[in-house]
Amino acid sequence: MKKPEPINEEIELQNNIYIESDTDKKGVITYVNDYFAEISGYSKDELLGSPHNIVRHPDMPKILFKILWDRISRGENFHAAIKNMAKDGRYYWVFTDFEPLRDDKGDIIGYKAARKKISKHVTQLLDPLYKKLTEIEKESGMNESLNYLNNFLKERSQDITIDNLLENIHKLY
Ligand SMILES: Cc1cc2nc3c(=O)[nH]c(=O)nc-3n(C[C@H](O)[C@H](O)[C@H](O)COP(=O)(O)O)c2cc1C
């Protein structure tokens, strides 16, 4: 499916309604709830069977998805602020919890994501960082953006990591 052109207009999310999806082990969507379809503007038919990058926003740095996949494929949970893009090109920021789905034997069979509205205060802090990382990736690749991210966090506080960034967001600036 052709990717829309991003437009600089935000979609307001409702409080307390989760945007949910499940994927197989490769990130192909196997389940979405009604709110996912409503906010993204894609029908469930368009979403099911598509890779999850169908809602990827070009402002999102690749390194964040690499870290996400490192964590969840090792069986760990992860959470992150994600900027997604709807079918009409508008964007919506979400606080997202990712977790592995397992079968009876404990083997990973896929992944689950639950997303909720995130405060504007947090997204305004993260937006410039994500844009900077994306710029670095275009010019110098993902190793460099990882270096920048690690230095950026270390300079601000010894105990902030990408895994606890959202809990420590007040220490960023
Ligand atoms: C359960 C689950 C949910 C995901 N949700 C999103 C999402 O909402 N937005 C997004 O851009 N990527 C999401 N991803 C990550 C995508 O699989 C993919 O890594 C990312 O969009 C980058 O895609 P690309 O490397 O093909 O550009 C999710 C992955 C999993 C496993």
The Cα 20–Cα 31 span in angstroms is 8
Nearest atom of ligand 1 to the alpha carbon of 23: 1
As given in the structure block, the two tokens for residue 128 are 């410039």
23 lines ligand 1 (CB under 6 A): yes
Burial class (CB in 10 A: 0-12, 13-18, 19+), 139: exposed
The sign of the dihedral angle between the CA atoms of 153, 157, 159, 164 is negative
Return the pLDDT at 36.
98
Calculate how far, in angstroms, residue 67's C-alpha sits from the geometric centre of ligand 1. 11
- At 166 the three-state DSSP class reads coil
As given in the structure block, the two tokens for residue 70 are 């490192």
Return the pLDDT at 158.
86
Digit-coded pLDDT (tens) for 49-64? 999 999 999 999 999 9
Q: Residue of the nearest CA to atom 18 in ligand 1?
A: 53
Nearest atom of ligand 1 to the alpha carbon of 22: 1
Structural domains in the chain, sorted by start: 19-60+72-118 (3.30.450.20), 122-171 (no CATH)
55 lines ligand 1 (CB under 6 A): yes
